[in-house]
Amino acid sequence: MSKTWSVDEHLEDILRGVRPLEPIELQLLEAQGCVLVEDVTVPVSLPPFDNSSMDGYAVRTADVEGASEEFPAVLTVVGDVAAGSGDLPAVGPGQAARIMTGAPLPPGAEAVVPVEWTDGGTGGGPAESMTPRGESPGGAEGEVRVHCAATQGAHVRSRGSDVQAGAVALSAGTVLGPPQVGLLAAIGRGTVKVRPRPRVVVLSTGSELIQPGEQLASGQIYDSNSFVLTAAARAAGAISYRVGSVSDDPETLRSTIEDQLIRADIVVTSGGVSVGAYDVVKEALSQIDDEEGSVEFRRLAMQPGKPQGFGLIGSERTPILALPGNPVSAYVSFELFVRPAIRTLMGRDPVRRTPVRARLESEKPLTSVEGKRQFLRGSYTPPPEGETVGTVSPVGGASSHLVAALAQADALIDVPEKTTEVAPGEELTVLPLD
């Protein structure tokens, strides 16, 4: 009888076969979720010039010293400075310029007073907002009464106060989330060098499968695996292509895979890997000739997910993971084997999900088959503040066809091979999912 592999042995074998993808230069939004492979330095300081943080008036501090509502400083308005203005009016003694948030501080001005600290040029009490451009009274001429003093630099965002030219904005190894994409845009980068998202081709096998939306005939079921696997690959950061289901015909399967290799960094199949008479993936791939690569089918000490296939195929030796067809087995196998492979291709760390400890919350003990590492579905509650161990309660049973319960779960409960029973209140290892 052939060897039974442990979960870790199978994963290590897969990870030996996958290498991070070669970096490429990508447009910013294409690079979202990818790992940067270069240190990005700031070409021009941010902000690039001193600018106002408020809608108000640019003033000289000496002119507004001691100003109050009772004894306002009365200044002559010399013009408007809007964000984007290139032509700046100089502010001399006794003068002020209307200035908008983000607009460059004009020469001569040392501070900004918000419009609410002035009469807005109306001659009345404190203003709530500026008079729209072109409306009178007030506006970009006449006088403004300032009701408060302002210190040097008040409401001014100075050049380089965010980040200085020459500084490293993002270092190699950073994962580009939305704020990082935003920073790259803010410093003027149009493209960046990253490891690209892997392209994952997903196909399911089984002559019983039909597309969701069609009418079920006798003996048929809807193909759900190709959907869950495509969605899971996308959630893991990959670009995923759902080919859909292929019938139980080895020739059709072989030629479909061959056609798909051109756009695949990984191929994932579901079904047809067990010991039945129609196990098409096993039949099609276990005896391909050496030139085409090789795929090994093995038994794992694991439930669900016992039968698995892994190999490298085609001229590029593309990794192929052949997952079992039972829907929960396919999903759990994705989490344990395909997701780490995808993350390795992306250069993402950590490759595996981070385990946490949790106490079992359940009416009765959990039972597990000796010699099999069991991954039960659970609902996980993180520890309250100050504690380190959360709680987990089982969701649904152990059978690998229970998709409704899977959809209610948010964690996998990892029961070691040797454990046959876990009592309520005992600690376990849990893999929270997202």
Ligand X SMILES: Nc1nc2c(c(=O)[nH]1)N[C@H]1C(S)=C(S)[C@@H](COP(=O)(O)OP(=O)(O)OC[C@H]3O[C@@H](n4cnc5c(N)ncnc54)[C@H](O)[C@@H]3O)O[C@H]1N2
First-to-last C-alpha distance (Å) of the chain: 38
For position 180 contacting ligand MOO by CB under 6 A, the verdict is: no
Q: Which is nearer to ligand X, 107 or 276 (CB)?
A: 276
Q: Which of residues 89-108 bind ligand MOO (CB under 6 A)?
A: none
CA distance 157 to 429: 50
> Cα dihedral angle (338, 341, 347, 353), rounded to 10 degrees?
60
CA distance 197 to 225: 22
Nearest-CB residue to ligand MOO?
329
Residues that bind ligand X in the complex, under the rule CB under 6 A: 204, 206, 208-209, 221, 223-226, 245, 270-276, 279, 304, 306-307, 324-327, 329, 400
For position 240 contacting ligand MOO by CB under 6 A, the verdict is: no
For position 225 contacting ligand MOO by CB under 6 A, the verdict is: no
The least distance separating ligand MOO from the CB of residue 205, rounded to whole angstroms, comes to 15
For position 305 contacting ligand MOO by CB under 6 A, the verdict is: yes
The least distance separating ligand MOO from the CB of residue 427, rounded to whole angstroms, comes to 25
The closest alpha carbon to 352, from 364, 341, 366, belongs to 341
Per-position DSSP letters for 93-107, written without gaps between them: TTEEEEE-TTPBPPT
The closest alpha carbon to 5, from 418, 414, 305, 331, belongs to 305
- Out of ligand MOO, ligand X, none, what residue 23 binds, judged by CB under 5 to 8 A for its kind, is none
Token pair 């695949």 is at which residue?
Answer: 264
- Out of ligand X, ligand MOO, none, what residue 319 binds, judged by CB under 5 to 8 A for its kind, is none
The least distance separating ligand MOO from the CB of residue 201, rounded to whole angstroms, comes to 22
Q: Structure tokens of 53?
A: 């943080």
Q: Which is nearer to ligand X, 32 or 224 (CB)?
A: 224
Phi, psi of 8 (to 5 degrees): -65, -40
CA distance 64 to 105: 17
For position 206 contacting ligand MOO by CB under 6 A, the verdict is: no
Q: Which is nearer to ligand X, 23 or 206 (CB)?
A: 206
Per-position DSSP letters for 8-29, written without gaps between them: HHHHHHHHHT--PPPPEEEEGG
For position 373 contacting ligand MOO by CB under 6 A, the verdict is: no
The least distance separating ligand MOO from the CB of residue 362, rounded to whole angstroms, comes to 21
Q: Which of residues 326-345 bind ligand MOO (CB under 6 A)?
A: 326, 329
For position 269 contacting ligand MOO by CB under 6 A, the verdict is: no
CA distance 355 to 350: 11
Residues engaged in binding ligand MOO (CB under 6 A): 303-306, 324, 326, 329, 400
